[in-house]
Amino acid sequence: MPKVHYVDHTGQDTEMDVPVGENVMHGAVYNGIEGIAGECGGALSCATCHCYVDDAWTAKVGGPSSEAEEELLENASSEVKPNSRLSCQIEMTDDLDGLVIHMPESQY
């Protein structure tokens, strides 16, 4: 099962198994990872799962997957950067084993 490294704003790294086909947001929420709220449950209607994809992974993960994701990112409470994504829109694959995401200090 692929692993995701969830790095909080202080640098604390928590590694979790996230099944292929599941999204990064659910991997955090289901495992009690602080820093990703996912209030809409992955319905692409909030920005409380905002994350920063580590520079080493941006090419594999790619940019916002849709215009809707881009619009929601504009309303994120933390700074939006070129590597910003909504973690509910990052679906796990075997190729993403070892993915590193960084979480903003706050989702609100």
pTM, whole model, 2 decimals? 0.95
pLDDT at 62 over 90: no
23 and 42 Cβ atoms separated by less than 8 Å? yes
In the prediction, which pLDDT does 63 show? 82
Q: What does the pLDDT read at residue 64? A: 83
Domain boundaries, the chain: 3-102
Please tell us whether the domain made up of 3-102 is placed in CATH 3.20.20.10: no
Residue-averaged pLDDT of the chain? 96
Q: What is the mean pLDDT of residues 69-91?
A: 95
Region for residue 58 given its phi and psi (left: phi exceeds 0; alpha: psi -120 to 50; beta: otherwise): alpha
Model confidence pLDDT, tens digit, residues 7-33: 999 999 999 999 999 999 999 999 999
CA separation (Å) from 60 to 25, 56, 100, 107? 17, 9, 11, 24
